[in-house]
């Protein structure tokens, strides 16, 4: 025993005292130069949910928030140690396997998004799905980053077997010719895009209202303001609840901390603020896990009250379901 301990001490002294550097002359490991596929499974009772990332868009911070000084916006970002000039806005869709039915909530950017987006289909397939398996696509609202994945630039939809559900108020607004013609010039492209995506299936879409169980386990929640018919969802199975927040916030680092701020995309700012507070309060009082479309991947966590504001506590990665 005595001898063994002495020789170990001697070895340690040799290692610490050596000035030789490791020899890397035979190193061969190539760089990855690419990220691994972005999907994350989690359970909501018996429902298996999968978050699928569609990458991100980068936007200049200046002008992004309508009712706050840039210096104050930067101060909030610095609390999360985030860059001060540009904001990365992530895209995360949710797939729900409910009793063998594959339900997709929003479809990502397809081939029409920012250069850093467009990985959705590769990630969806890497998660073990194929688009022909999708039974139902539910749309939260009609902004391009949520609907363009449904119909590619070629006009083809990858979801050949899927039924489609849309919020009735959203449909009435965007498909109305009067709204289109009266809209400001800057919004005409968004109107045209909604028609590009939905015109070929306009006789098949199923319209849904707020506050209804639209399929077993998914109840729509009115979260109007971001767009006229913008919806969030309560997904439940047994005693388990999970709130899909959709675009209740356009980046959690900003609008969970400061729900009274309004993003340039909120079409009715006051209504969006009211909806945001309602949804954040609901997440706190229900103690439910939440997901956001625009949050750092995998975009799930819990909302806690933090004085007069809120904070998002990300869900830790779990190796088991």
CB nearer to Zn ion: give 247 or 289.
Answer: 247
CB 157 within 8 A of CB 151: yes
Q: Give the N- to C-terminal CA distance of the chain in Å, as an integer.
A: 47
Closest to 139 (Cα-Cα) out of 207, 46, 201: 207
- Measured from the CB of residue 22, what is the shortest distance to Zn ion in angstroms? 48
Rounded Cα distance, 214 and 198, in Å:
20
For the bound state, the minimum distance from the C-beta of residue 79 to Zn ion, rounded and expressed in Å, comes to 23
Q: Are 37 and 127 in contact (CB under 8 A)?
A: yes
Which CB atom, from 50 or from 250, has the smaller least distance to Zn ion?
250
Q: How far is the CB of 285 from Zn ion (least distance, A)?
A: 25
Q: What CA dihedral angle connects 244, 248, 251 and 257, to 10 degrees?
A: -110
Run of H or E including 253: helix 252-255
17 SS3 class: helix
- Rounded least distance, CB 294 to Zn ion, Å: 6
- Residues 233 and 220: beta-carbon distance below 8 Å: yes
Q: How far is the CB of 289 from Zn ion (least distance, A)?
A: 20
Distance CA 234, CA 289 (A): 10
Smallest distance, Zn ion to C-beta of residue 139, A: 11
Task: Identify which of residues 145 and 266 has a Cβ nearer to Zn ion in the complex.
Answer: 145
Tokens of 77: 């970002």
Q: Which residue lies nearer to Zn ion by CB, 180 or 265?
A: 265
Nearer residue to Zn ion within complex by CB, 109 or 237: 109
The per-residue b/e assignment along 89-106, b for 16 or more CB within 10 angstroms, e otherwise, is: bbbbbbbbbbeeebbbbb
Structure tokens, 226: 């971001």
CB of 141 to Zn ion, least distance (A): 8
- Tokens 């489609």 sit on residue: 164
Closer residue to Zn ion, CB minimum distance, 145 or 289: 145
Which CB sits closer to Zn ion, 45 or 144?
144
Binding region for Zn ion (CB under 5 A): 145, 247
Cα 212 from Cα 172, distance rounded (Å): 18
């Amino acid at each position: 025993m005595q001898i063994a301990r002495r020789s170990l001490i001697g070895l340690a002294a040799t290692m610490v005292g050596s000035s030789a550097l490791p020899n890397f002359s035979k190193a061969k490991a190539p760089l990855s130069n690419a990220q691994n596929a972005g999907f994350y499974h989690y359970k909501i009772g018996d429902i298996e949910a999968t978050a699928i990332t569609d990458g991100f868009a980068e936007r200049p911070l200046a002008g992004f928030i309508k009712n706050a000084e840039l210096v104050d916006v930067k101060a909030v970002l610095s609390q999360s140690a985030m860059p001060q000039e540009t904001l990365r806005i992530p895209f995360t869709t949710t797939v729900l396997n409910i009793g063998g039915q594959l339900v997709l909530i929003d479809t990502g950017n397809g081939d029409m998004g920012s250069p850093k987006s467009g990985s959705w289909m590769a990630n969806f397939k890497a998660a073990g799905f194929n688009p022909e398996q999708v039974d139902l696509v539910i749309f939260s609202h009609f902004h391009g980053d949520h609907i363009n994945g449904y119909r590619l630039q070629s006009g083809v939809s990858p979801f050949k077997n899927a039924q489609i559900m849309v919020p009735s108020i959203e449909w009435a607004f965007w498909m109305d010719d009067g709204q289109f013609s009266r809209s400001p010039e800057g919004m005409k492209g968004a109107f045209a895009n909604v028609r590009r995506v939905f015109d070929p299936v306009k006789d098949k879409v199923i319209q849904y209202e707020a506050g209804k169980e639209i399929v077993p386990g998914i109840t729509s929640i009115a979260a109007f303001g971001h767009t006229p018919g913008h919806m969030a969802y309560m997904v439940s199975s047994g005693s388990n609840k999970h709130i899909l927040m959709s675009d209740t916030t356009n980046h959690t680092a900003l609008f969970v901390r400061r729900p009274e701020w309004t993003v340039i995309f909120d079409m009715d700012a006051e209504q969006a603020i009211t909806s945001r507070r309602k949804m954040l309060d609901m997440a706190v009082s229900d103690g439910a896990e939440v997901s956001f479309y625009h949050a750092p991947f995998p975009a799930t966590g819990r909302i806690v009250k933090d004085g007069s504001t809120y904070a998002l506590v990300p869900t830790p990665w779990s190796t088991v379901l």
